[in-house]
Structure 1
């Protein structure tokens, strides 16, 4: 009788669910008809992950495992499970209505993750680790910016309440000039003056160190992003930080995104139906990855100021009576479509390595080129160095050089 039960257990299909934490993962198993079979807790170590997979396999053939937090606390379990050939599905935390109805605990969340994998409500594959380095550099660069901003704000607030002599001397300075002046201070005077000047000097030096740190991280990030996806980095208006954010949002495995509409929804750039009765309308999405939405917004602003095609589009939409906010929403949706193509397909970048040598062999200055095309010399320089992609300008520039 025991052997028959064991054979039946080995043949049945089961689904797993994992509620992940920093030190433990709670694993639940359900049958293919949703029945609860068992649950247990394991440590977040190599031995714990192996025991968790053995626990799942002991109850039958594991069809899929729903994991909550595949890119955070569940990253270790996800890595091990996928290396053993298991299908791992990314599961969002249960919605608030369900939590109010059935409560919250580790077993409840683990069973909810298993049911999400069984029902098909969760279908997204977890992100792979090819963008892990980009994510780490991006987070470090952003934290450096936040810390620098905090130090600059502290300098401003300290100068507001500083003694009048200090406030009159340094309060009128702005930007880098103020930071450089404060960093060179030699505190003198009474106790109050020495203390305030010492604090300002420390904050100014912190700003300079964080600025240098951010520049170094941005340079490393630019190299990683360009190597990973040169087509995305070469798109107009896409800088290192913006490209990194889009890669982190999409993940290194683009097959997890099925359509460009789903990517637009992921970025919060797709209009959401808000119809009822005789009302038929759409509203702006307030969901999705807001950092990715902000990245699309920055691209739209850059193109509105420096891209001739975008400026012409904005002029047409303005003439049609649309507001600036409405135009930016339309641009973000169109940019999301373009970014999806860059993320999911190989986009070839036209070569520009021949432009500078060709110009130099003919002894033509950047100023002369800029005057001919009606742009700033820095624009030509950035196109030559590959820091800015403008295919029309590059083709016209090459033809002009060859004819010169």
Structure 2
């Protein structure tokens, strides 16, 4: 091969960029130095994706493709490109300052996506299909909770304006007791009370249905999350909902997460300097994925209440003069560090399936075991069923059972 042939081969290396929409995708092709070559529009169909990939390949060897919206409108093209053996890079939308400077159109955005890959500004791989399924179930579960809350609020509003007899009877009840009582309502034929009672019973039945739906979806999510990352799900204070949200934020491919600091910034828990004069402090970040931030916040609250190590840490920080907000900031940052490790490395989870059969074989009740260890029976039950992780206690419990 001559030097001229080598230079020709280098010149034919190209990078693609895709601006995705509901019905169309706009594809642009640039050189490895960012020079414009061509662009075209294709439909969001299997045939359209094939034609778009062929269009890019016609201009040279495609090194990688920057796609805007890999988890939304661009998900179909992302799958097709991966199946074709192309390297797909997730690209964020151009910032507002750049859009004001160069304008906004589909070709401009497609070229910007390609140049983001050329410049190295975009480097993250798209999220995998496993997380896409988890996200769909999570959205369904969240919508069920929102609808349930709306129905409960409607019940409360109706009772405020209901006739005195109805209001006095049901306003004193709370939560599930009120819902259960309203489900058993007998309407009667009173023209004033009947419409109100019908509305209350309908809403109460809706609440029960949505509660069952949410429980079923959460159970399915728990199975999927545990299968995908057992170490994350087994960590203390991380339930099905918070584990699901953290996986949705991070994705199921560890290559997306370059450093622990970048993951903390992604979750909005990277400390932000807030010093002035003699004051030297940091504050919580207001950026990042707020849903992931909320998940870390819930984990921190659970550990502050129930985890002895965390409670000891809070006591030490309080004695040092830190406020609750500052302690929460430190805790969330520490939890983000732990979650990053769980997301990027394989963590072995101790087996607990033998605990319940061993206890039952000895005819030991949950109450008897709980009394021996000085804990509630629910603690033993949760550990046996894998709903709570406490490796030290589980090991002690396993050693005690044969001698009990």
> TM-score over 0.5 for the alignment?
yes
State the match for 2:4 in structure 1: none
Alignment match, 1:363: 363
Matched residue, 2:67: 67
Q: Quickly say closer, same or farther: Cα 1:275–1:23, change in 2 above 3 A.
A: farther
Aligned partners of 1:292, 1:260: CA distance in 2, in Å?
A: 15
Q: 2: distance between equivalents of 1:276 and 1:262? A: 26
Q: Which runs of 5+ in 2 are unaligned?
A: 1-6
SS in 1 for 2:349: coil
Rounded Cα–Cα distance in structure 1 between residues aligned with 2:198 and 2:336: 48
What is the deviation of 1:363? 3.4
202-211 or 369-378, which deviates more: 369-378
Aligned residues: 399
List aligned pairs for 1:282-321, cutoff 5 A. Answer: 282-321=282-321
Report SS of the residue matched to 2:192.
helix
Q: Following the alignment from structure 1 to structure 2, what is the Cα–Cα distance between the partners of residues 36 and 209?
A: 56
1:243 is the counterpart of 2:264: no
Give 2:390's aligned residue. 390
- Aligned partner of 1:174 in structure 2 is 174
Q: Secondary structure at the match of 2:26?
A: strand
SS of the residue aligned with 2:111?
Answer: helix
Q: Which moved more, 1:182-191 or 1:17-26?
A: 182-191
Residues 283 and 326, structure 2, Cα contact 8 Å, conserved in 1: no
CA distance in 1: counterparts of 2:399 and 2:327, whole angstroms: 35
State the 1:43 CA deviation.
Answer: 0.2
Q: Deviations 1:98-123 (Å, cap 9, x if unpaired)? A: 22222222112111111111111111
Q: 1:321 deviation in Å?
A: 1.1
Q: Which stretch of the first structure deviates more once superposed, 59-68 or 265-274?
A: 265-274
1: distance between equivalents of 2:332 and 2:370? 30
Report the alpha carbon displacement of residue 68 of structure 1 after superposing the two structures with TM: 0.5
State the 1:257 CA deviation: 0.9
Inter-partner Cα distance in structure 2 for 1:15 and 1:278 = 51
Q: Work out the CA distance in 2 between the residues paired with 1:300 and 1:264.
A: 15
Q: What is aligned with 1:257?
A: 257
In the TM superposition, what is the alpha-carbon distance from 1:276 to its structure 2 partner?
8.9
Alignment of 1:322-341 (within 5 A): 322-341=322-341
With structure 2 as the length reference, what TM-score do the two structures score?
0.93
**Paired position in structure 1 for 2:135:** 135
2:114 paired with 1:119: no
Residue 193 of structure 1 pairs with residue 186 of structure 2: no
**Matching residue of 1:380:** 380
CA–CA distance in 2 between the matches of 1:189 and 1:27? 66
Question: Partners of 1:212 and 1:229 in 2: how far apart?
Answer: 26
Q: Offset of 1:285 from its aligned partner?
A: 1.5
Structure 1 counterpart of 2:270: 270
**Residues in 2 aligned to 1:192 and 1:119: alpha-carbon distance in whole angstroms:** 71
Give yes or no for contact 2:53–2:81 (8 Å, CA) kept in 1.
yes
Aligned to 2:44: 44
> Does the CA contact (< 8 Å) of 1:42 and 1:51 recur in 2?
yes
Deviation readout 1:131-184 (Å, 9 max, x if unpaired):
222222111111111110111111111111222222122122111111111112
Is 1:22 aligned to 2:4, yes or no?
no
Distance 1:39 1:152, change over 3 A: same
Q: Does the 8 Å CA contact 2:125/2:256 hold for their aligned counterparts?
A: yes
User: What is the distance in 2 between the residues matched to 1:362 and 1:217?
Assistant: 35
Which digits, 9 at most, give the CA deviation of each residue in 1:26-51, with x for residues without a partner? 11122222222222111000111111
Question: Aligned partners of 2:27 and 2:372: how far apart in 1?
Answer: 68
What is the rounded CA distance, in whole Å, between the counterparts of 1:354 and 1:47 in structure 2? Answer: 53
Separation (CA, whole Å) in 1 of partners of 2:156 and 2:244:
31
Q: Distance in 1 between the 2:9 and 2:403 partners? A: 78
Moved more, 212-221 or 51-60: 51-60
Q: Distance in 2 between matches of 1:280 and 1:57?
A: 55
1:92-241 equivalences in 2 (<5 Å): 92-241=92-241
Aligned-partner Cα distance in 1 for 2:102–2:9: 29
**Alignment check: 8 A CA contact 1:10 1:61 kept:** no
Unpaired segments ≥5 residues, structure 1: 1-6
1:11, 1:61 within 8 Å by CA — same for their partners in 2?
Answer: no
Q: Does the CA-based 8 Å contact 2:283-2:329 persist in structure 1?
A: no
Change (3 A) 1:221 1:172: same
Question: Per the alignment, in what secondary structure is the counterpart of residue 370 of structure 2?
Answer: helix
How far does residue 10 in structure 1 lie from its aligned partner after superposition?
A: 9.4
1-structure distance, mates of 2:311, 2:10: 64
